[in-house]
Amino acid sequence: MKNVDQVIRAFRDRGYKVTPQRIAILEVLEGNKTHPSADDIYVSLRRKHPTMSFTTVYNTLETLKELGEIQELTIDQRRLHYDPDITLHHHIMCTQCGHIDDIFADYTQAIQVPEEILRRFHVNGHSVQFYGLCSYCQDHGDA
Amino acid sequence: MKNVDQVIRAFRDRGYKVTPQRIAILEVLEGNKTHPSADDIYVSLRRKHPTMSFTTVYNTLETLKELGEIQELTIDQRRLHYDPDITLHHHIMCTQCGHIDDIFADYTQAIQVPEEILRRFHVNGHSVQFYGLCSYCQDHGDA
DNA sequence: GTCCATGCAAACGATTTGCAGAGTT
DNA sequence: AACTCTGCAAATCGTTTGCATGGAC
């Protein structure tokens, strides 16, 4: 995601309105490396924006996705997470606590799809994710 | 998944009861290459087993997972799919119609996790999946 | 007869939708 | 003023849970 000011400009350019709610959500996302869920974002805004609604969080995330400013992570079957870093990278999630970390590696060349599949599919993308136990959970967890 | 008779034996060995419902679900799964969801299984059984419940489908899938007879696919964010083929392979899903195909390839060596991550995580597994448009949807779809 | 499994209904949790009123342009 | 956005409430949908009855052993 570009910085807040630049995204605001992108909004104006596209005819999207710049509302206090949208700015607040952008501020939460800017430089955010925690891979928040919609709920995480909602909760982190509740104090300063008590009237913020889930609808607005979801709407804004959808808009930012459309603009290509954030990416949706499908690493967690239970809920979607969002990442303002749209450069090519991957993720690992702790199966105990749900913590998600970045993995900066490019596996594009490494995972070639067999010819046979290419004959039957127009491949648009792929997704690689890892699962494990983070340091904390290795020491404290018990599952 | 082993064949129905063998899984029935595995059930008995573990003290799990062999019920008509469980057998029916096993029969749906044996050799099944369609990667059904719980709902798909439920629907395909409704006619011959009108009293079959979702609870039983979910319970049985859970049991089969525990026994390592099937694997749960997380390729579809909307719902879980199940695969009786537990050998190492991957999948591709058509983003239009949801059809899932097998990809028989082993990317284990290809996707090495950076040292830096290994220091912070005990990696237990990974997941690689592809997305695209199947032949049918390339010709007929419009998204 | 014991105990696990089934099936119904209700609960749950993430996400989506309908819509009236509010705010941006 | 026009038109989008917000926020509330309700709906949706896959999955889980509580529990009484039923069936496998």
With an 8 Å Cβ cutoff, are B125 and A132 in contact? yes
Class (C level, CATH) for A4-73: mainly alpha
- Which amino acid is present at A36? P
Nearest to B75 by CA among B94, B54, B58: B94
Task: Please give the average pLDDT of every successive group of 10 residues along chain A, which has 143 residues.
Answer: 96 96 98 98 96 97 97 97 97 96 94 96 96 94 59
Whether residue A111 contacts residue B107, with contact meaning beta carbons closer than 8 Å, is answered with: yes
Domain B87-140 CATH assignment equals 3.60.21.10: no
pTM for the whole structure? 0.94
Name A73's bridge partners.
A81
Do residues A123 and B92 make contact, with C-beta atoms less than 8 angstroms apart? yes
- The pLDDT of residue A140 is 84
Residue type, A123: V
Q: Which of A72, A76, A103, A99 lies closest to A89 in space, CA to CA?
A: A103
Predicted confidence at residue A142, as pLDDT, reads: 58
pLDDT at B79 over 60: yes
Nearest CB neighbour to A123, from listed B112, B117, B132? B132
**What ranges do the domains of chain B cover?**
4-73, 87-140
Of B114, B117, B130, the CB nearest to A113: B130
Kindly identify which residue of chain B lies nearest to residue A107, measuring between CA atoms. B111
B53-77 per-position pLDDT tens digit: 999 999 999 999 999 999 999 999 9
